[in-house]
Structure 1
Amino acid sequence: MALSDRAQGYFFLITTMCIWGGFTLTARLNALWHINTWDIVALRFSLAFLILMPILLYRREASFLLKKEPFILAMIGGVIYCLLAYSAFHYAPTAHAAIFLNGCIPICTAIVAFILMKQAFDRHTWASLIIMITVLGIMSLLMYRESGIPFGAGDGLFFLSAIFWAIFTVLLRKFQLSAWQAMCGVAIWSAVIYVPIYVLFLPKDLSTPEPQHLMFQTIFHGIFVVIIATLTYVEAIKRLGAFKAGSITNLAPFLAAILAVPLLNEPLSIAMLFGLLGMAIGALQPWRWLGRQDALSQKLEQQKKQSS
């Protein structure tokens, strides 16, 4: 029995959520397993390159790689973003990533879109901006009262990661590459540029971590995060729409932050709980769901009146 488009959409959506939530948890595990940032970034893109490049050559689709757009996207959303994000997990726990990275991405994207594409803020963006600024202000006061230090180096790196991912997202929209081209371009160009620099100049520490830990992280980040999650997310958008797919998958990092408490023994203070809840509301914009449900109810009511 074949699944309906809606059921397929939710299957792809759940798959994407599991991988994205897993990215947050496993990126933190890199710090606990003593896998440094330079190594995991090189391993991630090397494996993706070895898988994707032969496919492009076999299908004779590699010519688009010679354009400047895939290269720019790879440098911003591939090399720089990954180095910043993976480094941040060595300084801050999972809950901080959900707040300062995933929570800030939507508003950073709106700001970058305004700067680069003159796209004005709508009322939903303004509401999110007000909520997030208020939440960060209150959370910083709570953190200062708890520890005397409102923010750390990891928080700053997460926020920089959010800015670069926002730039990547806006440029991806502007360049109008397909999901397949964007994924292949980022993975391949990142490997071509970063891996030689890593081999020749950057510090390596592949002997300290356990081999099974290295293998697990390489497979998960090189295949599941880079390739599978991109394709499942695109398929979910096709079947469920961008708003529903984007809103639900944005829950993944916040759920991962909660799971990190029992799984990774990470503390979760009152300030962090407040930040998670507030940033989740600002990022997910739940009032838009209410508006859509009201519109749907009105449409159904009109259809009933017409049928009667």
Structure 2
Amino acid sequence: MTPRTQGYLYVLITMLIWGGFTLTSRLNVKWGIEAWDITALRFALAFVILVPILIYKKDLAFLWKKEPFILAMIGGVGYCLTAYTAFHYVPAAHAAIFLNGFIPLCTAFAGFLIFKHAFDKHTWLSVIIMLASISAMSFLMYRETGVAFGLGDLLFVFSAMWWGVFSVLLRQWKLSAWHAMSGVAIWSAIVYLPIYLLFLPKHLSEPEPIHLVLQTLFHGICVVIIATLTYVEAIKRLGAFKTGSIVTLAPFLAAVIAVPVLGEPLSLAIICGLIGMAIGALQPWRWFGRKDSLQKQLEQQKKQSN
């Protein structure tokens, strides 16, 4: 299997998990699983799996640095609580628009505010497209329902902000995929679980046990561990831009699948928002004539051999 084929295989795995995250998070609402509970179960399972592995590998020293702790508070606890809570207020399509659609925009703004990374012309064009699509969607939603922007949408925007800052810090600090994933999961569990057990409401007796088991396994293993590792491996083989562009499609496809599977509405306003935010996030105009990192590396090796 060639490196490029491996890259697309890793992308496919990541897409399936990211799309599943959108659908299963919305399914939590139908199954009566609260955001507080799934967050606790997610980090508890990851903690139980990862700590013995780190002890066996004698690879615990990195946990005592400030970087894994900060990443856990932002991309772990902060992101999960706002994202899972938002699904209780709005359909899955809103997650594709206000969460996944806003992540590239929030990442660019975070890079500018924290490290003064200037916007390029592609980012500015994405900003214009996204703002135009959100304005059109809000106008249509107000005409249809009398509400242009709800609490769930605001929580998704906050989630995108958390993830944008998380992505910029992760890129700046250059942690390995294993250390980043392990640090976020373990520190999130250490900080969040005591707060959850002592102070937060619990509704673990209300959902069906099989539903709790399925959601815990998917979010604790697939989302936290597998998707992080496959995403990074795909970037190594295909490049960050191409990998990110393809994977970003997953939540938008999940939003469409949620219509027949979960019986969710798909109005003109939602369609407008999905199309506009997808174009802004994917930046399809950059695909033409753009070489990925693998192609550049092969060309460089060929020049050196000659």
Q: TM-score range by the shorter chain?
A: over 0.9
Are 1:124 and 2:115 counterparts?
no
Query: In 2, Cα distance between the equivalents of 1:290 and 1:8?
Result: 22
Q: Deviation at 1:173?
A: 1.4
Are 1:279 and 2:277 counterparts?
yes
1:134 maps to 132
Query: In 1, Cα distance between the equivalents of 2:231 and 2:67?
Result: 22
3-state SS of paired residue (1:207): coil
1:299 maps to none
Query: In 2, Cα distance between the equivalents of 1:291 and 1:106?
Result: 21
2:9 maps to 11
2:252 maps to 254
AA in 1 matched with 2:72: A
1:240 maps to 238
3-state SS of paired residue (1:112): helix
Between 1:230-239 and 1:20-29, the stretch displaced more is 230-239
1:92 maps to 90
1:300 maps to none
Query: In 1, Cα distance between the equivalents of 2:65 and 2:235?
Result: 27
Matches within 5 A, 1:1-308: 3-292=1-290
3-state SS of paired residue (1:292): coil
How many residues end up aligned between the 2 structures?
Answer: 291
Gapped regions of structure 1 (runs ≥ 5):
294-308
1:301 maps to none
1:302 maps to none
Deviation string, structure 1 residues 105-128 (Cα, Å, up to 9, x no partner) = 001110110000000000000000
Query: In 1, Cα distance between the equivalents of 2:143 and 2:199?
Result: 43
AA in 1 matched with 2:213: M
Q: Deviation at 1:291?
A: 3.8
1:297 maps to none
2:297 maps to none
Q: Deviation at 1:238?
A: 1.2
Q: Deviation at 1:229?
A: 0.5
Query: In 2, Cα distance between the equivalents of 1:166 and 1:8?
Result: 27
Gapped regions of structure 2 (runs ≥ 5):
292-306
Deviation string, structure 1 residues 188-233 (Cα, Å, up to 9, x no partner) = 0000010011111111010100000000000000000000001111
3-state SS of paired residue (1:54): helix
3-state SS of paired residue (1:208): coil
1:305 maps to none
2:302 maps to none
Query: In 1, Cα distance between the equivalents of 2:197 and 2:33?
Result: 16
Between 1:39-48 and 1:284-293, the stretch displaced more is 284-293
Query: In 2, Cα distance between the equivalents of 1:90 and 1:84?
Result: 10
Query: In 2, Cα distance between the equivalents of 1:290 and 1:250?
Result: 18
Q: Deviation at 1:30?
A: 0.6
AA in 1 matched with 2:200: L
Query: In 1, Cα distance between the equivalents of 2:3 and 2:29?
Result: 40
AA in 2 matched with 1:31: V
3-state SS of paired residue (2:194): helix
Query: In 2, Cα distance between the equivalents of 1:173 and 1:243?
Result: 14
Identity of aligned residues (%): 68
Query: In 2, Cα distance between the equivalents of 1:225 and 1:33?
Result: 19
Query: In 1, Cα distance between the equivalents of 2:125 and 2:289?
Result: 14
Q: Deviation at 1:175?
A: 1.6
3-state SS of paired residue (1:290): coil
Q: Deviation at 1:292?
A: 2.4
Please report the TM-score for the alignment, with normalisation by the length of structure 1: 0.93
Deviation string, structure 1 residues 162-187 (Cα, Å, up to 9, x no partner) = 01111111111122111111100000
AA in 1 matched with 2:60: A
3-state SS of paired residue (2:118): coil
AA in 2 matched with 1:153: L
Query: In 2, Cα distance between the equivalents of 1:74 and 1:159?
Result: 19
Q: Deviation at 1:269?
A: 0.2
